[in-house]
Amino acid sequence: MQQAQAQRVGRKKGKKLPDAPEVLTCAERIDLGGEDGAGVFIIQSGIMRDLYRLATQVAGADATILVYGESGTGKELFARLVHQLSGRRSKPFVPVNCGVLKGELFADKFFGHEAGAFTGAQRQRKGSFEMAADGTLFLDEVGEIPPPNQVDFLRVLEEKTFRRLGGEKTLPFGARIVAATNRTLRQMVASAEFRADLYYRLNVVPVTLPPLRERLEDIPPLAEYFLSMYRHRYHKPDIYFAPETVTALCEYSWPGNVRELRNLTERMVLLCTDTCIEPVHLPLEMRLASAALLVDQNVSSLTLEAAVRQAEVAAIVRAWGEAKGSKARLAEILAVSPRTLRYKLAEYELKLV
């Protein structure tokens, strides 16, 4: 059922963004632009439908949005969705990674500079404040802004003006701010790592993006979309997922979220020599996790024997990560003989390669 559903979604063309909010009744794919699949918002689960509705509610306002979420959950994608739903859609969308900017580099990136402002500044350069104009300025990893630069940033948000480095002319700042972080800013405020006044200025509309493990319904259509993208890129039009592979994808915890799923799909398409991507083509940790879940699902009652089986599979899965591909080392970690290890692997049908 999931596989058929995923294939139907994968064949759909990218949907143009509606001019007005609408209720989504089936899996939808909204093309927001961008490269490498980073600009497609796929909606299947109720959680993502709720986020879409929230985006339509806040898009028309100029209130600052603070997006929380683990790495790889699509925080920039949500910011692009809000931008495209808003009246600013024809204006620039300017993303900035704050995690790599400090001191003068931060100031130059955001404020820009005039020619001669400092050594090497041979000509004028516009900063992100100016490039965003009346569009949307997306601040990724906003929690990484150093405290001294937080003061400068807050001043621009309050006064709605700025100057280029070395400049005398005051320029207007009219962009909407959408900030994102994978850290808990409230705790950073409590520990004096982040300014309280800047936090409250940013945290007008807080939004939390769920990790992929909490929206399993989205995995089949996401996987099928990425498969379609990479089968075209690597000229493998006939490659497809086996239903068991899709099941295994849905059983994995995805610590890297959607980004990990995208990268994994590219790797499987690139390296798979068959037309069908089978579970055997999945990374070992995913196959082991699937095997552990299978043991758990096959237990009809919590007997002592069943509990032992679950514990043994879980121990093998954990130890294999530390063994770094060595079965001899795996036996040492588990404190069993190589013969016992071979017996257990055969009993639980765990193939370590």
CATH number of the domain that residue 303 is part of? 1.10.10
Q: Are residues 69 and 187 in the same domain?
A: yes
Task: Write the single-letter amino acid at 331.
Answer: A
pLDDT tens per residue across span 81-98: 999 999 999 999 999 998
**What is the domain-level CATH number for residue 258?**
1.10.8.60
Residue 227's alpha-carbon distances to 31, 236, 258, in angstroms, are 16, 10, 13
Considering the domain boundaries, does residue 54 fall inside one? Answer: no
Contact partners, residue 317, CB within 8 Å, separation at least 6: 285, 288, 289, 291, 292
Residues 159 and 296 in one domain: no
Place of tokens 């900035």: 96
Residues 182, 312: one domain? no
344 within domain boundaries = yes
Residue 217 has φ and ψ, to the nearest 5°, of: -60, -25
Question: Do strands 28-31 and 40-43 pair parallel, antiparallel, or not at all (unpaired)?
Answer: antiparallel
Rounded CA-CA distance 94/105 in Å is 17
Q: Are residues 160 and 23 in the same domain?
A: no
Domain count, the chain: 3
Q: What tokens appear for 223 in the block?
A: 């996987």
Residues 207, 64 share a domain: yes
Same domain, 254 and 288: no
- My answer on whether 78 and 202 are in the same domain is yes
| Assigned token pair, 292 | 């552990």
List the single range of 49-58, 82-91, 107-116, 211-220 with lowest mean pLDDT. Answer: 107-116
pTM: 0.74
Residue 11, pLDDT score? 36
DSSP letter at 346? H
- Looking at every residue in the chain, the average pLDDT score rounds to 82
What pLDDT sits at residue 35?
Answer: 54
Residues 125 and 64 in one domain: yes
Tell me what the mean pLDDT of segment 319-325 comes to: 79
Q: Are residues 38 and 110 in the same domain?
A: no
Range of the structural domain that residue 300 is part of: 283-353
Nearest to 317 by CA among 349, 279, 293, 288: 288
- Are residues 94 and 178 both part of a single domain? yes
**pLDDT at residue 88 in the model:** 93
